[in-house]
Amino acid sequence: MNRRTSAPRHSVDISEEAGVRYLHFGSEWIQGAMRIARPWSLELSYTREMMAGLLLREAADWPRRVLMIGLGAGSLAKFLYRHRPNCRITVVEINPQVEFVARQYFKLPDDPRRLEVRIGCGADFMLGGDSSFDYILVDGFDADARPGALDTLPFYLACRARLNDDGLFCVNLLGRNRGFAASVRRIAEAFAGSVAVFPSCDSGNTMAFASPDQAVDISLDTLRARAAELKKASGLDLAPTIGRLQLAHPLPDGRLRIGRNPA
C-alpha cells in the first residue's frame, strides 16, 4: 500500500462569513466549520450525518471509545466531548498544522485524558495497532478531496478488526464519485456485507455505516424516538436524516437492518 507518512504541503487557511468560521486546505473546499456563537454545534450537514450512529445503538452512554481519522475543525470531537462525558476520543491527524488551528481558532478542548490527538498517518495507525473502539469515524482527505490509503480493502479490514462487538464504522464518501461503487464494494467485502449507504445529505456527502458483529435491526419508530431524545439533549436534529433514509431505501417492515443476522 502506498501511504503518505509526512505532513501535506498544502496550506491550512481560515475564512469567516456571516458568523461562521471555515477551515480550508489550500483551496476553496470547506474542510470544517464552526458557528462562532455556537462552537459545540455541528454546523455542516455532513458532520450531523456522521453522528447518525448514535441512533443505531441502544445504550445511552454509547460510544465509550471513539476513533476519528481526520481532525478537520474538530467538530465531531467537540460534539462527543460535550455530549458523551464518559467517552474517550482518539483522533489521528496527519498534519500538525491542523491540530494547531483547531485548538487556536475552533475551540478544540485541551484535555488529553478524554481527547487525544495523535499526529500520523491514519492507515498506519489502523494497521499497526491493536486497541479497540466502539465507533470509528473516517473523514480524511487531501487538498484535492482524495482519500488515498483510507479507501483500500486492507484499511477497511483493519477498521473492522479494531471494532468492539457492538461497534460501528462510519466513513464519509465525499470525493469518491468515480469510484463510489468500488468503495462500497470494498467496505462490504471487509464487513461481510454488513453495510448500509445512507442517502446524500444537502452538501452532497454520503455516509456508509458498517457493523462488524452485532447487527443493527431497528424500527423507524425507535429511530424517531431516539432522534427526539438526542435533539432534546444536544440540539442535534437527525429527523431529516431518517426522512431521507425512508424515502431513498425500501425498509422491509419499517425497519433499518445492517447485517445478515439481526439480533
User: Which residues have a Cβ under 8 Å from the Cβ of 54 and sit 6 or more positions away?
Assistant: 62, 226, 230, 238
- Taking only the tens of pLDDT, the chain with its 263 residues reads 334 455 565 789 999 999 999 999 877 778 899 999 999 999 999 999 999 999 999 988 999 999 999 999 999 999 999 999 999 999 999 999 999 999 999 999 999 999 999 999 999 999 998 899 999 999 976 555 566 789 999 999 999 999 999 999 999 986 555 557 888 999 999 999 999 999 887 767 889 999 988 889 999 999 999 999 999 999 999 999 999 988 887 788 899 999 754 43
Query: What count of other Cβ atoms lies within 10 Å of the Cβ of residue 104?
Result: 10
Per DSSP, the three-state class of 221 is helix
**Cβ pair 36, 44 in contact under 8 A:** no
| Region of residue 14 (left: phi > 0; alpha: psi -120 to 50; beta: else) | beta
- Cell numbers describing residue 33: 466549520
Active site residues: 139
Residue whose C-alpha is closest to residue 90's, from 65, 53, 123, 122: 65
The pLDDT tens digits of the residues spanning 92-130 come to 999 999 999 999 999 999 999 999 999 999 999 999 988
249/199 Cα distance (integer angstroms): 8
**Cβ pair 150, 138 in contact under 8 A:** yes
User: Tell me, what's the pLDDT at 4?
Assistant: 47
196/173 Cα distance (integer angstroms): 12
Rg value, the chain, Cα? 17
User: Residue 248, Cα to own-chain centre: how many angstroms?
Assistant: 21
What residue type is assigned to position 250 of the chain? P
Can you give the three-state secondary structure of 107-155, one letter per residue?
CCCCCCCCEEEEECCHHHHHHHCCCCEEEEEECCCCCCCCCHHHHCHHH
Domain range 44-258, CATH class: alpha beta
Check whether the bond before 63 is cis (ω within 30° of 0).
Answer: yes
